[in-house]
Amino acid sequence: MPWITLKEELAIPMPLTGGLGGNRWACQIEGEPDDIADLTAALNTAPAIADYKVGSVAAVPALTCEAWNAVDDASQVKALADAAMNECVGCINMLNVCGAMKIGTLYEFKADGTCIMQRFSHIKINIKKAMDERKRCSQATAVQGMRSPMRFAG
């Protein structure tokens, strides 16, 4: 069965909030609250990884990076954010063991105050023939294809 990517998109009016520093893109962080708190502390206080910051979009923790401002395609931002998240989780695992965290919804802030929310979901699909095109076997045909039950002498 093939995998497909489902892209959901919603545009709403929303100003930049929560220390996103005027960045164009923010990516929702999904994970346990204590792991997100550790990530926030590590990224927002360490000068060595100053490219990434954790802010908030309507009380939702979000990863931002100034370098992503030049990227126009949401799928490219998602790939960059996934790589950044994997790198960050790996570093935090070396200091403190942490659970899995991943990128959820992407937020793109437009100059007109609109926020485009996008989410990519990978789903497995099974494509079937239409009901009238499917072959149906009768109960008799199905039984003929089965082996007869074994009989035991008793």
In a 3-state reduction of DSSP, which class is residue 148? coil
Note whether residue 141 is domain-resident: no
- How much of the chain exceeds pLDDT 70, in percent? 68
Task: Output the pLDDT for position 18.
Answer: 45
Note whether residue 88 is domain-resident: yes
Residue 97 has pLDDT above 60, yes or no: yes
Query: Which H or E run contains 99?
Result: none
At a CB cut-off of 8 Å and minimum separation 6, what does 145 contact? Answer: none
- Decide which of 149 and 114 is more confident: 114
Side by side, the strands of the sheet bearing 102-109 are 3-13, 114-124, 102-109, 25-30, 60-65, 52-57
Number of folded domains that form the chain: 1
pLDDT category at 63 given cuts 50, 70, 90 is very high
* For range 59-75, the mean pLDDT: 92
Q: Identify the pLDDT of residue 2.
A: 67
Q: Does the residue 137 lie in any domain?
A: no
Full domain range(s) for residue 50: 3-124
Instruction: Work out the average pLDDT over 89-93.
Output: 85
Tell me if 41 is assigned to some domain: yes
Mean pLDDT for the chain? 78
Would residue 117 count as lying in a domain?
yes
pLDDT at 15: 58
More confident residue, 37 or 135: 37
Residue type, 47: P
Q: Tell me the mean pLDDT in the region 15-43.
A: 82
Q: Does 147 fall in a domain?
A: no
Tell me what the mean pLDDT of segment 79-83 comes to: 94
Quick check: is 49 in a domain?
yes
On whether residue 67 sits in a domain, the answer given is: yes
